[in-house]
Structure formats: C-alpha cells, structure tokens
Amino acid sequence: MQPARQTEFTLDDDDFNTIAKFVKTQTGIVLSQAKRDLVYSRLVRRLRALHLDSFAAYCRYLEGPQGEDEHGSLINAITTNLTGFFREAHHFAHLADSTLKPLIQTRQNLNRRLRVWSAACSTGEEPHSIAMVLRSVLPETGSWDARVLATDIDTDVLARAKTGRYPADAVAPVPAALKSRFVTSESGGNVLIDPKVRSLITFKQLNLLHDWPMSGPFDAIFCRNVVIYFDKQEKLVLFDRLADMLQPDGWLYIGHSENLLGISDRFQLVGRTIYRRIG
C-alpha cells in the first residue's frame, strides 16, 4: 500500500518556505502555498535518493558543503516542462510567412544571417519545430548563416532534447509536409528528427535571471509560458532584456496565457500573443 501524500515525510511551513525561497532566488519561479503538494511530490524522490529522513534534513543538506551539487537536481525536479511540437501553431505560421520569408527576401544580397532563440526549450520540441520551419523556407541554393539557440535551466531536459529522438505519437502535430521531410521512424516506436534540422540548433543551459553570454541580435525570440511563474518586477526586467536582444522590429512570441500589458512598452501587439519590438 502506498503511503498517503505527506505521510512518508513531513513538509512543514519552515521547510516549504526555505525551499520556495531558494527556488525563487535561483529561477524566479514563485511557489505559493498552493504548490505545496507539487513540491512534495517532486522532491520526495530526491530525499530518497540522498537517504534523508525529512525535509528539514534536506534543507540542511542544501545549505551545507555538499548542497551546491544538489542545486541543479532540485531545479530540475521543480521546473515544469510542458511542451509539444508546433504548440500554438499560429506562431509557426507567422514565423514562416511574416518573419523568415520577408527576411530571406531582404537579406539575400546582404549578410544572409538568421537567428531565432527558444528561451525555455524544455525537451526540444519547440526549437525542433522552429528549425523545421527554418529549414523549409531557406532557399535550396546560396549560403545562409541560420541558427536556432535553444536554452533551458534544466540540464536533464536539455540532454533529452539534444538526442532529437521522441516517441512516435509526439510528432502527431507536425504538419504532414514537414513530417515527411524531417521525421524518420525508428524501431521501438520512436522517431528521429532529421540531422539537417538538428544541425541548425545549439542547445545551452541558461538561467534567464542570470547573465546571458550571447550577444544577439535575434530576429525572433520564443519565450512562452515562462513568466507566468515570475513576479512583476522580474517580468519587467526580463522583457526589457529580451527587447535588447532583438533586432529593431524583431519578433517576440509569448505563451497563450501571457501578455505584456503594464509590463513593457517596448513591444507592439500585432497578433495573438505575437509582439514586435518598437524601434
């Protein structure tokens, strides 16, 4: 018989607040009391793995000399990685028709440089979707310097993303024309994303609240379903930094439940959760 939730270990207010403060400082994610069960279920596996007998012991471990090695595991356990291929499909239609195709036309005699950032790429479905679109609209002739930067705070999901391998049912949302070109079936019920697509992507670990080593500028940034966990001040700072990373008139795609009202005046809303940098 499985123990009832929070009977194997006790997660009291002090321990929850310690963990919530750590997560807020490290990631910007705000864990309200409503997330107590989530924190318990995500971290109880860490207590077992470390052979600890309480959340109080886990908090002491985090603050002790060995705790630094555990920080990444805690963040990986807490962060939510809900994603999917061509999620919010209108973003990818806009990326192809209103972002990339016009840029290819105007830059064909110039630097032929294209840059897109997936800023919270999780297990890689989003950047692979971006790269499929990019590969599909790039001219067959001519040399283009086209890249997709894919970043996430969670090292575990990045490792999975780099493989380009997914369960067959995961690619169901991929448009048929792109699936036939860029997805190969494997034995065991998996599929592999074409190397021509994967070669466009660079995966890197990145905390959006810390320093960003890249200089940009990007033509488009996908930052979707991330800031719902941030407080207002962190949103103000983040979107100002994102604006700085974009080309003038560059494009920003955010999540379906997000908006920039009262958060940033550096973007103009031009479509459903689609913004363009002003100036």
Instruction: Please identify every residue annotated as catalytic.
Output: 42, 152
Residue written as tokens 């036939």? 180
| Helix (H), strand (E) counts: the chain | 11, 10
Which letter, b or e, does each residue of 47-68 get, where b requires 16 or more Cβ atoms within 10 Å of its Cβ?
beeeebeebbebbebbeeeeee
Give the phi and the psi of residue 191 in degrees, each rounded to 5: -130, 160
Rounded Cα distance between 16 and 37, Å, is: 10
Q: How many CB atoms lie within 10 A of CB 106?
A: 9
CB atoms near residue 181 (< 10 Å)? 15
